[in-house]
Amino acid sequence: MRGFSLVELMLVVAITAILSALAIPSYFEYMANNNAATLTTQLKTSIRLAKSEAQRRGTQVKICALATGSAVPTAATAGTCNTSNSSWDNGWQIVVVSTNQLLYFVQPNIPGAITTNINNIVFQASGIPTPSSRTFTIRPNRCSSGYTLSVSATGAGGGIQTQKVTCP
């Protein structure tokens, strides 16, 4: 007769269960680290876009935390920023200050990952940010390494730099 005995089958199932139990926590950490890198790239790209649009249009452009994450920003709600706190969990938008024209928005699906002490950055027509220096920290749950994203008036990378940090 060909085939596996019940003992052999149970042994394979037990080994598979043990290996899965060892691999799953590492997989979650890998995904959290990947989410941190993705979110950092999204935010960095958005900040660069706001800066370049301000320079290209010759007017103020701001990037700010969305007031709500329940709906896509519309022409009527463009420029409505989260003013009650500095939470960027709902996402962010880029708008032309003078006209409240919505240029771009992001609604990430990683709650509690971004911390900062501001709710907006306004880029002047020259590309200089107001406030002149701000830092975002991106640390999703279960990560082993997150990032800090610094925005300043001058410096390498157009004043936008990232640095890897350890997650608690």
Q: What is the pLDDT of residues 112-146, one digit of tens each?
A: 788 888 888 999 999 889 877 888 888 888 788 88
* pLDDT band with cut points at 50, 70 and 90 for residue 57: very high
pLDDT reading at 155 higher than 70: no
- How many structural domains is the chain composed of? 1
For the chain, give the mean pLDDT. 84
Q: Report yes or no on 149 lying in a domain.
A: yes
The rounded percent of the chain whose pLDDT value lies above 90 is 24
* pLDDT band with cut points at 50, 70 and 90 for residue 12: very high
CA–CA separation, 77 and 54 (whole Å): 20
Q: Report yes or no on 25 lying in a domain.
A: yes
Range ranked top by mean pLDDT from 78-82, 94-98, 134-138, 154-158? 94-98
What pLDDT is stored for residue 69 in this prediction? 60
pLDDT reading at 157 higher than 70: no
5 burial via Cβ count (<10 Å: 0-12, 13-18, 19+): exposed
Mean of pLDDT values over 33-60: 91
Domain with residue 77: its CATH number is: 3.55.40.10
Q: Report yes or no on 2 lying in a domain.
A: no
Q: Report yes or no on 1 lying in a domain.
A: no
pTM of the prediction?
A: 0.81
- Enclosing domain of residue 24: 7-166
Residue 62, C-beta contacts closer than 8 angstroms, at least 6 positions apart: 50, 79, 81, 94, 95, 97, 120, 121, 122, 123
What pLDDT is stored for residue 141 in this prediction? 80
Q: Report yes or no on 118 lying in a domain.
A: yes
